[in-house]
Structure 1
């Protein structure tokens, strides 16, 4: 399965819901989407990984670069919904400490 991206906007918050696998073949699509959102000036970018079943090192690289790019533009960037293998790889690499956002309130 490839990667499908769906972007929703609410005020200054933009959420990119990803579905499928983030790997060498699909990470460029995610990179392009995240770069364009940061460059457009969005102040809060959230990547929802609830429907992502696999993320390799190229996907992690995209997330880290997007995080750094957003921070350089004074925007927030976080990942939500990671579970299973995806959550495990984020925790194993230590990326969970700055990529995974706080759970929503309420």
Structure 2
């Protein structure tokens, strides 16, 4: 299916809504989107994974690198809406402690 990204920007906050699968073929577009938002000065970036059904190691790599890039410039990157297999992979790898946005 691929990955579709929609970004909503409000002041220093950005919400990225993802739909589809984050894998080797689609992770580069996610990386580009997140890096662009950090570099544009957004201090709070939320990635909504509600409509994402799969995330492989290349997607996890993008999330970790984007998180570190945001932290380096005092910005925050969090994930919301992860469920099922996506939530499971975040919890299994321990990334939930850093990425999952608490309600």
**1:40 paired residue number:** 40
| Whole-angstrom distance in 1 between the partners of 2:17 and 2:58 | 18
| Whole-angstrom distance in 1 between the partners of 2:43 and 2:92 | 28
**1:86 paired residue number:** 86
Q: Which runs of 5+ in 2 are unaligned?
A: none
Q: Report the CA distance between 1:13 and its aligned residue.
A: 1.0
Query: What is the total number of aligned residue pairs between the two structures?
Result: 103
Supply the RMSD in Å over aligned alpha carbons: 0.5
Regions of 4+ moved over 4 Å: none
Q: Report the CA distance between 1:10 and its aligned residue.
A: 1.8
Q: Which runs of 5+ in 1 are unaligned?
A: none
The alignment's TM-score, normalised by the length of structure 1, stands at 0.95
Q: Report the CA distance between 1:23 and its aligned residue.
A: 0.1
